Amino acid sequence: MAIVLDPTWKEALEPEFLKPYWQELTAKVRKEYQIKKVYPPAGKILRAFDLCPLDRVKVVIVGQDPYHGAGQANGLSFSVNTGIPLPPSLQNIFKEIQSDMKIEPLPSGDLIRWATQGVLMLNSVLTVLANKPASHGGIGWEQFTDTVIQTLNAKRIHLVYMLWGKYAQTKGESINRDQNLVLTSGHPSPYSAPLFFGNHHFSQCNKYLLNQGVEPIDWR
């Protein structure tokens, strides 16, 4: 799988692409795309990085793996293509934004509008087999995205990390809390939404960014 990636990320992650696990990972993923239905479309696997260069990241929202239904996954965590019904987790994210920020989120579930403002919508696992959640877990993506977080931790400060649920919180254990704002709560899925609602992460995020002299995020 050729690495076509935003130059800032490609330079920072170049050593990773030479490691044996990456070669094994990309060979497996390439084969899966050839013989099975895999999401997101191959050209959008690294979309989160292309829309949000390393030097422009302000916020990191960590998800688990892409949506596994037809037409949903588009390379951004929690995001779906325009015209696709909002999954329950995204519905709950929008509800919290409305409650917290007193604004009405736009109807489209494609969160490109956040990504281009500096929100890295990072899934831990970047591909999935159709109708088989977590099917590409454990094949190497987690090592790669751990390195992404470690790279941000080493090269950037004063970022906001939103870690929803135990999985994301474990993923973010290495983040320097003294130099960044790390916000944690329950996951926005219906099973844990009561632990997500009322977390005020979006307003806390913008307050922190403003205090750092950084343009806040328009969460609509």
In tens, the pLDDT along 154-196 reads 999 999 999 999 999 999 999 999 999 999 999 999 999 999 9
Q: So what's the pLDDT on residue 4?
A: 81
Cα dist. 44→37, 69, 81, 98 in Å? Answer: 14, 15, 12, 29
Known catalytic residue at 55: no
Q: So what's the pLDDT on residue 3?
A: 73
**pLDDT greater than 70 at residue 144:** yes
Encode pLDDT of 17-73 as tens digits.
999 999 999 999 999 999 999 999 999 999 999 999 999 999 999 999 999 999 999
Percent of the chain with pLDDT over 70: 99
Please give the model's pTM, rounded to 2 decimal places.
0.97
**pLDDT greater than 90 at residue 2:** no
29: phi > 0 → left, psi -120 to 50 → alpha, else beta; which? alpha
Average pLDDT, the chain: 97
**pLDDT greater than 60 at residue 1:** no
Alpha helix (H) residue ranges in 84-212: 88-101, 112-115, 141-155, 166-171, 201-211
Of 6, 65, 100, 218, the catalytic one is: 65
For 55, the token pair is 């030097």
Average pLDDT rounded to a whole number, residues 184-209: 98
83: phi > 0 → left, psi -120 to 50 → alpha, else beta; which? left
